[in-house]
């Protein structure tokens, strides 16, 4: 039995407790979700649980980029950049063109800066060549051309600028759509379900004991193989399997700021801070996204946040290329931080390899950590292939081939969806073009489901906050169809209210009341 999207939590718990799964994935970030999606496509009975919300931690605290990684050329990792570009093109063209959009990047070249025009020009040309010039040719432009693209660019000492193409997204929305894709493929999922113990049979991990964090209900899940994909908490779960397990990872904190934008930007900025680090200033969700930091973190993963020192550093580094008028503290709407999971070992975290770490525990539980948004499908396939080759073949030897390009739900042209949303209603009741565009670029063709909700109840077409494009139909849809169970699920990850600084006490109270109502 496969449960439909929107099934209530009690029914899902009953299904989880009553089924013997091939694979139980613990952790609903990008890595766990991708493995779950791939495993379901391969015909496995797979379940996924998360102690918080799907993508509730690091996976919704990224730089919102789907990119090849220009800075990896610095270390000569041409193969990695080429691989990233292949996945980036697949996401933008075949998997999620409704959620991933192209964005031009400008690299300002200042007098006395860490890189010269010739070096950067060659770098962006090679970068675009590795993407088969799919986003145009990387080149060097004049200061005047750069300032036409980014009006807030500092002009003092600006000698030239390099230009290249990449893509961006709303990571929370892509995560929710990927969970939905996994469920469409047959997976059973539950958020806010915490592992409180592991099931063992003759010393082998064969499932987990869980507690529903929303109502305290305890239940268990049995599986032939358990995958620990809990990100920053991966060693916590490994110690649940084996109290003597040595640390396998280390953590690096990356903080970001979101600010109100003073004027439109036609491009993003990638500003070299030193020989290896860069600072991003990216137009995103009608705002400006700044970041990121990269420093070792050894505290509680649940307590990670952007500190005053992080905010000062981000504003200072952005100020290398962005005018002060665009960097006012009163324009900050949101500050957030996530944790990169890196291989254990010596050296600075900024120089550590961004690679996936796979370990096997004494009880047979597989633990996997690391990865990045751009290659999340590739990593999911790689991990599944690793699981399929385990000694004794706990998953069996009869996995179906995974299709190369299964799209995320809602695949459609955002322009076409926005046009339909705006023109499909009576002239006197047409949807605001900004709202139509917002729905089209966050849901694709699923936006028509929200439009149907509005036709049934026109009040759901009203904006949740007058200063943002999110509407009440999104909150209803998040509750009934996207597993949103808490106010933060709605305001931080299903909508853009928090990033815009619009999750006021009144808004939160109204959403809490809505969540308490029967679907």
What is the number of alpha carbons within 13 Å of residue 465 lying toward its C-beta? Answer: 19
Residues 6+ apart with CB under 8 A from 511: 464, 475, 487, 490, 491
For residue range 199-237, list pLDDT tens digits in order: 999 999 999 999 999 999 999 999 999 999 999 999 999
Residue 67: inside a domain, yes or no?
no
Average pLDDT of the residues of the chain: 92
Instruction: Identify the bridge partners of residue 20 per DSSP, sorted by sequence position.
Output: 222
Minimum mean pLDDT range among 69-78, 122-131, 161-170: 69-78
Residue 404: inside a domain: no
493: DSSP letter: I
Residue 66 lies in a domain: no
β-bridge partners, 223? 21
Both 339 and 369 in one domain: the answer is no
Q: In this predicted model, what pLDDT tens digit does every residue of 146-201 receive, in sequence order?
A: 999 999 999 999 999 999 999 999 999 999 999 999 999 999 999 999 999 999 99
Domain annotation covers residue 65: no
- Looking up residue 292, the CATH number of its domain turns out to be 3.30.9.10
Residue 48 has pLDDT above 70, yes or no: yes
Report residue 391's pLDDT band, with 50, 70 and 90 as the boundaries: confident
Cα–chain center distance at 508: 23
Give the residue from 326, 343, 360 where a domain finishes. 343
Structural domain includes residue 69: no
Residue 74 predicted with pLDDT over 90: no
Query: Does 3 reside within a domain?
Result: no
CA dist., res. 336 & res. 60, Å (int): 10
Domain tally, the chain = 3
Residue 519's pLDDT is what?
A: 47
64 domain residue, yes or no: no
CA-CA distance, 161 to 147, in Å (whole number)? Answer: 10
Mean pLDDT, residues 5-21: 89
DSSP assignments along 222-279, one per residue:
EEEEEEE--GGGHHHHHHHH-TTPPP-EEEEEEEEEEEE-SS--SSEEEEE-SSS-EE
* Token reading at 434: 């900004």
Residue 76 confidence (pLDDT) above 60: yes
Question: Are 49 and 110 found together in one domain?
Answer: no
Domain match, 189 and 321 both: no
292 and 205 part of one domain: no
Is pLDDT above 60 for 354?
no
Of the candidate ranges 188-197, 289-298, 420-429, 507-516, the one whose mean pLDDT is the lowest: 420-429
In 3D, which of 438, 411, 418 has the Cα closest to residue 93?
A: 411
Average of per-residue pLDDT across 484-495: 98
* Element at 220 (helix H, strand E): strand 218-228
Q: What is the mean pLDDT of residues 80-109?
A: 91
The torsion region of residue 490 among left (phi > 0), alpha (psi -120 to 50) and beta comes to alpha
User: Is 294 found in the same domain as 151?
Assistant: yes
10 to each of 181, 217, 222, 461, how far by Cα in Å?
Answer: 22, 9, 17, 30
User: What band does 2 get if pLDDT is binned at 50, 70 and 90?
Assistant: very low
What are the start-end ranges of the E strands in 276-427?
278-284, 287-291, 295-297, 332-343, 357-360, 366-369
Cα 340 to Cα 492: distance, rounded to the nearest angstrom: 20
Quick one: 50 and 196 in the same domain? yes
Distance of CA 152 to the CA centre of its chain: 27
Instruction: Indicate if 242 and 367 belong to the same structural domain.
Output: yes
Q: Is the pLDDT of residue 438 over 80?
A: yes
> Whole-prediction pTM value?
0.94
Whether residue 455 is found in the same domain as residue 321: no
Domain ranges, residue 181: 9-58+173-248+349-398
User: Residue 213 maps to which CATH number?
Assistant: 3.50.50.60
pLDDT class of 119 with cuts at 50, 70, 90: confident
Same-domain pairing of 313 and 421:
no
Do both 157 and 254 map to the same domain? yes
137 contact partners, CB below 8 Å, separation of at least 6: 125, 128
The pLDDT, as a whole number, for residue 352 is 47
Taking residues 479-497, what's their average pLDDT? 97
Give the pLDDT score at 283: 97
- Boundary (domain end) residue, out of 314, 343, 372: 343
The verdict on 138 and 272 lying in the same domain is yes
360 and 218 belong to one structural domain: yes
In a domain, 238, yes or no: yes
- pLDDT of residue 3 exceeding 60, the answer is no
Residue at which a domain ends, from 313, 343, 373: 343
Q: What pLDDT shows up at residue 350?
A: 54
């Amino acid at each position: 039995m496969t449960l439909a999207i929107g099934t209530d939590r009690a029914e899902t718990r009953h299904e989880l407790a009553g089924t013997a799964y091939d694979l139980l994935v613990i952790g609903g970030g990008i890595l766990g979700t991708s493995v779950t999606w791939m495993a379901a496509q391969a015909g496995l009975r797979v379940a996924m649980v998360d102690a918080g919300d799907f993508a509730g931690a690091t996976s919704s605290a990224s730089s919102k980029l789907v990119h090849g990684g220009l800075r990896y050329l610095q270390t000569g990792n041409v193969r990695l950049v080429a691989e990233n570009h292949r996945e980036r093109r697949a996401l933008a063209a075949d998997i999620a063109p409704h959620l991933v959009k192209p964005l031009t990047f400008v690299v300002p070249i200042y007098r006395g800066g860490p890189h010269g025009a010739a070096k950067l020009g060659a770098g962006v040309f090679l970068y675009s060549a590795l993407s088969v010039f799919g986003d145009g040719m990387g080149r060097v432009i004049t200061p005047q051309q750069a300032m036409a693209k980014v009006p807030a660019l500092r002009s003092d000492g600006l000698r030239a600028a390099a230009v290249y193409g990449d893509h961006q997204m709303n990571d929370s929305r892509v995560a929710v759509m990927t969970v939905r894709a996994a469920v469409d493929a047959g997976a059973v999922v539950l958020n806010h379900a915490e592992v409180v113990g592991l099931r063992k049979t003759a010393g082998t991990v064969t499932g987990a004991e869980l507690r529903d964090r929303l109502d305290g209900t305890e239940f268990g899940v049995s599986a032939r193989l358990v995958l620990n994909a809990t990100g920053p908490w991966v060693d916590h779960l490994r110690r649940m399997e084996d109290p003597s397990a040595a640390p396998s990872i280390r953590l690096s904190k990356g903080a970001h700021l979101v600010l109100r934008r003073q004027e439109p930007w036609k491009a993003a900025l990638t500003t070299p801070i030193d020989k290896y680090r860069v600072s991003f200033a990216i137009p995103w969700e009608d705002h400006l996204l700044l970041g990121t930091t990269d420093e070792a973190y050894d505290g509680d993963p649940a307590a990670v946040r952007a500190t005053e020192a992080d905010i000062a550093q981000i504003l200072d580094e952005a100020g290398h290329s962005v005018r002060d008028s665009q960097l006012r503290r009163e324009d900050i709407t949101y500050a957030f931080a996530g944790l990169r999971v890196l291989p254990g070992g010596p050296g600075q975290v900024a120089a550590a390899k961004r690679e996936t770490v796979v370990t096997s525990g004494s009880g047979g539980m597989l633990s996997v950590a690391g990865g990045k948004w751009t290659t999340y499908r590739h990593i999911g396939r790689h991990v599944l292939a690793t699981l399929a080759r385990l000694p004794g073949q706990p998953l069996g030897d009869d996995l179906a081939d995974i299709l190369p390009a299964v799209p995320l739900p809602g695949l459609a042209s955002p322009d076409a969806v926005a046009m339909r949303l705006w023109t499909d209603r009576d002239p006197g009741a047409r949807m605001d073009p900004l709202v139509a565009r917002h729905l089209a670029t966050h849901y694709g063709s699923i936006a028509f489901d929200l439009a149907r909700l509005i036709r049934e109840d026109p009040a759901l077409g009203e904006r949740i906050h007058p200063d943002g494009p999110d509407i009440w139909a999104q909150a209803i849809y998040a509750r009934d169809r996207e597993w949103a169970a808490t106010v933060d699920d709605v305001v931080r990850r299903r909508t853009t209210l928090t990033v815009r600084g619009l999750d006021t006490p009144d808004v939160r109270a109204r959403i809490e009341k809505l969540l308490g109502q029967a679907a």
